């Protein structure tokens, strides 16, 4: 099997050639981010889904690359306190099992404002928002001019939504769940002081002028994300209706937590199609025994396992269903999918995948569909849950809880950055990879000699919220010293 690097040399050459031809012929054009592009679903999806979007935006930097993580040997891991002694790589458990680790870099999908997995979903969600929406009171339809979504205080989804909304001319409203909601509101009322802060994703939320609505975790749990989003949408529309008649009546578009619904999930159906195209390495031509003609089939780089963090279920739904249907079309055994849940329990996520699949109009009625799950099983299955459980294993990986990190998890993130130059986030990708490596160590024979692709879903801005807890690791890995610019030791230096 050819090395992964050869794929991308060929791919980049092909893309460059296509771009050159398109430029010469005038086929390419520069368009506004808010331009609606007609959407054609991947061939593997068209036969199985009833509810397919008609349009999407193109605001992400796609395709995102796949990188191979190389094992390194260090004599000096870092330059800070306690460095200088030999230390085992944090990825050594993988290397000991002869595992090849690849990374699909969705953290590179859209720059610091848009980067991560959410922009793929937003290309479909905001395209839908920019089209005519029916009014709930049956009085016709009109386009939305505001978007309302919800998430945690350091929500990557909210940050990407706010920035993307400004790109396409929509007003962003973010409901942020925070234990400080009452404290911040009290300071605002009594002292006329804004104490919400500007750390991490919140900095970018505020830089693009998002309207931030705070709620407590208790209120979030009591009412649910859908009801809270609908309430803010209703407030926006009611306020415009009750104002002067000369003011434009407003319409708000609701997006659920994580952008995880049927519309948003198409972002990761498309992502699977992108992945399959990246894994294509050539064409196999053999002589047919029947007619002497050529029997051509595509050759693909093999992947045994796909691993990613799971927080609200949309990405997990798109990857799981996409992988199952894409490899069914290829008549190949699919890689085993591993979703590491960072908040709820596995049963919740299985049910969420089934629910979103139903919302997308998934129909598994084609004969022998389950041959994509097991070479020894050619039975017919029309159950979404059975299909899903044959493809994905959902691991319990929440540790101390959503957005809560152990010191071991934070040390792993810091040392992974040192060894690879890639920054993981403490809420999703870092916790997921840390927990999955523990799974590999517990079941080594299940993963020995395999090729594992870790799908990096972004969120690195979340490390800013963990600065105090990360400080000991950073001081150990990265030393600070006064430069001896005069060629002699400075007075007072030790």
Positions marked catalytic? 155
> H or E segment at 172?
strand 171-177
Question: Mapping DSSP to helix (H, G, I), strand (E, B) and coil, where does residue 436 land?
Answer: helix
Burial of 180 (0-12, 13-18, 19+ CB in 10 A): middle
Three-state DSSP at 456 gives strand
Helix (H, G, I), strand (E, B) or coil at 282: strand
Q: How far is CA 80 from CA 86, 212, 413, 471, in A?
A: 14, 39, 16, 11
CA count, 13 A, side-chain hemisphere, 463? 19
**For residue 38, what is the enclosing H or E element?**
strand 37-38
Give the β-pairing of 252-254 and 171-177. unpaired
Picking from 204, 62, 51, the residue whose alpha carbon sits closest to that of residue 128 is 51
- Asked whether the bond before 63 is cis by omega within 30 degrees of 0, the reply is yes
Say whether 133 sits in a helix, a strand or coil.
Answer: strand
């Amino acid at each position: 099997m050819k090395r992964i690097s050869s794929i991308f040399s060929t791919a980049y050459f092909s893309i460059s050639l296509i771009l050159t031809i398109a430029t010469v012929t005038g086929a390419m054009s520069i368009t506004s981010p808010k331009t609606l592009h007609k959407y054609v679903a991947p061939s593997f999806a068209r036969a199985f889904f009833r509810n397919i979007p008609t349009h999407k935006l193109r605001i992400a930097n796609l395709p995102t690359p796949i990188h191979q993580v190389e094992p390194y040997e260090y004599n000096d891991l870092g330059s800070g306190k306690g460095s200088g002694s030999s230390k085992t790589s944090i990825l050594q458990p993988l290397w000991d099992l002869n595992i090849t680790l690849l990374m699909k870099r969705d953290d590179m999908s859209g720059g610091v404002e848009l980067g991560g997995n959410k922009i793929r979903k937003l290309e479909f969600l905001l395209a839908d928002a920019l089209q005519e929406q029916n009014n709930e009171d049956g009085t016709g339809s009109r386009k939305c001019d505001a978007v309302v979504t919800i998430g945690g205080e350091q929500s990557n989804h909210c940050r990407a939504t706010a920035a993307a909304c400004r790109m396409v001319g929509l007003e962003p409203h973010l409901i942020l769940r925070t234990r400080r909601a009452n404290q911040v509101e009290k300071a605002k009322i009594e002292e006329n002081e804004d104490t919400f802060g500007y750390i991490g994703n919140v900095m970018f939320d505020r830089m693009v002028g998002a309207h931030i609505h705070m709620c407590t975790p208790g209120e979030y749990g009591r009412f649910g994300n859908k009801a809270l989003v609908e309430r803010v949408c209703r407030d926006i529309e009611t306020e415009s209706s009750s104002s002067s008649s000369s003011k434009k009546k407003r319409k708000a578009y609701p997006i659920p937590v994580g952008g995880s619904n049927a519309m948003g999930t198409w972002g990761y159906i498309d992502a699977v199609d992108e992945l399959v195209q990246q894994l294509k390495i050539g064409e196999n031509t053999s002589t047919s025994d029947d007619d002497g003609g050529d029997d051509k089939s595509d050759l693909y780089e093999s992947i045994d396992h796909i691993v990613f963090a799971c927080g609200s279920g949309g990405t997990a739904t798109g990857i799981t269903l996409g992988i199952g249907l894409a490899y069914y079309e290829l008549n190949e055994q699919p890689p085993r999918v591993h979703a590491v849940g960072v908040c709820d329990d596995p049963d919740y996520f299985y049910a969420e995948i089934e629910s979103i699949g139903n919302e997308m109009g998934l129909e598994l009625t084609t004969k022998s569909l389950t041959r994509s799950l097991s070479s020894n099983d050619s039975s017919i299955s029309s159950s979404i849950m059975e299909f899903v459980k044959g493809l994905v294993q959902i691991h319990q990986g929440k540790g101390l809880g959503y957005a809560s990190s152990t010191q071991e998890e934070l040390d792993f993130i810091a040392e992974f950055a040192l060894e690879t130059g890639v920054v993981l986030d403490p809420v999703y990708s870092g916790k997921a990879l840390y927990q999955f490596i523990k799974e590999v160590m517990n079941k080594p024979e299940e993963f020995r000699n395999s090729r594992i692709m870790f799908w990096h879903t972004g969120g690195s801005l979340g490390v800013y919220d963990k600065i105090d807890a990360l400080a000991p690791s950073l001081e150990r890995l990265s030393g600070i010293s006064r430069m001896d610019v005069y060629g002699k030791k400075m007075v007072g230096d030790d």
